[in-house]
Amino acid sequence: MEISDYYSKLKELSEDNQALWQATIIHTLGSSPARTGMKMLVCLTNSVYGNLGGGELEHSIISFIRQSQPSEPIQISFDLASGKKVEGCSIDMICGGAATVFIEPIFIAHRLFIIGAGHCGKALGHLARLCGLWVKLIDNRKDVLQDCSEECGHTSQLSDYSNIAEAVDFGPNSLIVIMTHGHSHDKEVLQQCLRREYRYLGMIGSKSKVQQTFDNVLQQGFTREDLANVHAPVGLSIGSQSPYEIAISIMAELIRELRQSS
């Protein structure tokens, strides 16, 4: 990729509000497929742009970025003679030499995790993408996820909700909306989200349904302080009924939350 094309792609991806990291080879020694100055842009999707020399070294760097999603710049040194990374992650590659890579977050998007990909979940995902959020749809129904179009989310994941941390990346930029089918798993998911780090946590439901869920959660040892920051019923009260009306009310509340605390 020509350097002008590389930076054009960087600008394009940044404007699309995608989480994006840049990895740059800053030092090599001995036999190494990488060369100083090589660069690569890494997204959370399967797409990468640029070149770090290929092979297991490049694959290891991409995997590290997607798994750890570093929020601060980090420098990693690989010992290619022993197949080890200084920080302890091995790579299946023994070609001699060494390489050091500098990884920097270019853009960390606010990420919306919609737990429940029914009609309301899809509508919210669609609006959220139009508003510039990175969106992940999570559901325990394979057929429902297969019916999700690209306009509804950047990615999706099948989950039985027993370990929601496998699907949700908790952190300061994480927005979470719980809307499981028929509310059957709302309490289970809510309990796993409480006392975790997030920017926003909301749960759909009528006032009576929300109160019932809260009462059940309190019986499990959680406190009213744990529930104080949960937006439930989720969304602004505008009398919404259809999936897109409900999505608009939730999206409006998300926008208000992000603007007021930015």
Q: Say which residue the tokens 């019986």 belong to.
A: 219
Structure tokens at 224: 């009213």
Q: Looking at residue 239, what is its pLDDT? A: 93
Dist CA 144 CA 179 (whole Å)? 14
What pLDDT sits at residue 262? 53
pLDDT of residue 167: 94
Q: Could you give the CA distance from residue 9 to residue 234 in angstroms, rounded to a whole number?
A: 37
Class of domain 111-260: alpha beta
Q: How far apart are alpha carbons 87 and 102 in whole angstroms?
A: 13
pTM for this predicted structure: 0.67
Find where tokens 């920051």 sit.
229
Predicted confidence at residue 33, as pLDDT, reads 76
Looking at residue 16, what is its pLDDT? 67
Domain ranges of the chain: 3-107, 111-260
Q: What is the pLDDT along the chain (262 residues), one digit of tens a residue?
A: 678 888 898 888 877 667 789 999 998 887 677 889 999 999 877 789 998 988 888 988 998 888 777 878 999 988 766 555 444 444 444 456 788 999 999 876 788 999 999 999 999 999 999 888 889 999 999 999 998 888 899 889 999 999 999 999 898 889 999 999 988 899 999 999 999 999 999 999 999 999 999 999 999 999 999 999 999 999 999 999 999 999 999 999 999 998 885 5
Element counts in the chain: helices (H) and strands (E): 8, 12
Q: What is the pLDDT of residue 172?
A: 82
Q: Write the DSSP symbol of residue 196.
A: S
Q: Which stretches of 133-232 are assigned E, i.e. beta strand? A: 134-139, 155-158, 174-178, 200-203, 230-231
The candidate with the shortest Cα–Cα distance to 125, out of 149, 144, 107, is 149
